[in-house]
């Protein structure tokens, strides 16, 4: 296991209805920059994606975005990133984000965020990686996911060892400290 240097953040292309979500994205981005962690994300300039990237960059950190050409053409790419990687498809986007990252964090988001989170968890369950995965549980946003995993465990659809594939925190600094304590392997 190596040291965590770059963290992939999955999050919404919307800010949601409650400003607490954008505040959490900003706090996470600032904490990542303070701790010298680079951001890897979907390269968007809107929603929580734009907030977390702007927070990392505004605090002197580095942000690498990976985006499919189709979304660049829709003018959704963040123009001020440390590095912008344009790929052909969403599948290549996720593969590149995975390749560049030592750990994963999910902020609040929609279907795409959930799909990315569950794919990272599935790949870890199947031993395709040993990278730590965390949810930043803002204002109870991910309580349902935690309950769902408890239900899968209690009904025999999840082995006890797989109930520990990810963890949840409500505070960005505590979350990052736990991630760093977990180690990572690219």
Mean pLDDT across 17-25? 97
Residue 1 lies in a domain: no
Q: Which residue has the tokens 């942000």?
A: 63
Residue 186 lies in a domain: no
What is the band of 136 on the pLDDT scale with cuts at 50, 70, 90?
Answer: very high
Q: What's the confidence (pLDDT) of residue 74? A: 78
Question: What's the predicted TM-score (pTM) here?
Answer: 0.94
Mean pLDDT across 92-119? 97
Mean pLDDT across 21-28? 98
Mean pLDDT across 149-164? 94
Residues 6+ apart with CB under 8 A from 23: none
Residue 150 lies in a domain: yes
Residue 69 is inside which H or E element, if any? helix 69-73
| Tokens read off for 82 | 């440390």
The mean predicted confidence, pLDDT, of the chain is 94
Q: What's the confidence (pLDDT) of residue 175? A: 97
Q: What's the confidence (pLDDT) of residue 185? A: 45
What is the band of 1 on the pLDDT scale with cuts at 50, 70, 90?
Answer: very low
Residue 134 lies in a domain: yes
Residue 103 lies in a domain: yes
Query: Contact, 70 vs 39, CB < 8 A?
Result: no
CA–CA gap between residue 10 and residue 97 (Å, rounded): 10
Q: What's the confidence (pLDDT) of residue 72? A: 85
- Among residues 111, 154, 153, 84, the alpha carbon closest in space to that of 13 is found at 111
Q: What's the confidence (pLDDT) of residue 86? A: 96
Residue 94 lies in a domain: yes
| pLDDT digit string, tens, across residues 43-80 | 999 999 999 999 999 999 999 999 999 988 777 899 99
What is the band of 186 on the pLDDT scale with cuts at 50, 70, 90?
Answer: very low
Q: What's the confidence (pLDDT) of residue 34? A: 97
Please state the domain count of the chain. 1
Quote the domain boundaries for residue 64: 6-179
Angle at 75 between CA 74 and CA 81, to 5 degrees: 135
CATH number at residue 88: 3.40.50.450
Q: Is the pLDDT of residue 130 over 80?
A: yes
């Amino acid at each position: 296991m190596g040291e965590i240097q770059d963290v992939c953040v999955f999050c919404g292309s919307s800010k949601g209805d409650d400003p607490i979500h954008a505040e959490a994205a900003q706090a996470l981005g600032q904490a990542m920059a303070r701790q010298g962690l680079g951001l890897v994300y979907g390269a968007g300039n809107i929603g929580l994606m734009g907030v977390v990237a702007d927070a990392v960059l505004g605090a002197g950190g580095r942000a690498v975005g990976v985006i499919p050409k189709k979304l660049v053409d829709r003018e959704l790419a963040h123009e001020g990133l440390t590095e912008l990687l344009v790929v052909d498809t969403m599948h290549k986007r996720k593969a590149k984000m995975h390749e560049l990252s030592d750990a994963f964090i999910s902020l609040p988001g929609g279907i795409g965020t959930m799909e990315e989170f569950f794919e990272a968890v599935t790949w870890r369950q199947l031993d395709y990686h040993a990278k730590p995965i965390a949810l930043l549980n803002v204002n109870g946003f991910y309580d349902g996911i935690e309950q769902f995993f408890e239900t899968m465990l209690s009904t025999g659809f999840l082995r006890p060892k797989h109930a520990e594939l990810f963890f949840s925190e409500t505070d960005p600094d505590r979350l990052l400290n736990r991630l760093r304590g977990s180690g990572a392997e690219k």
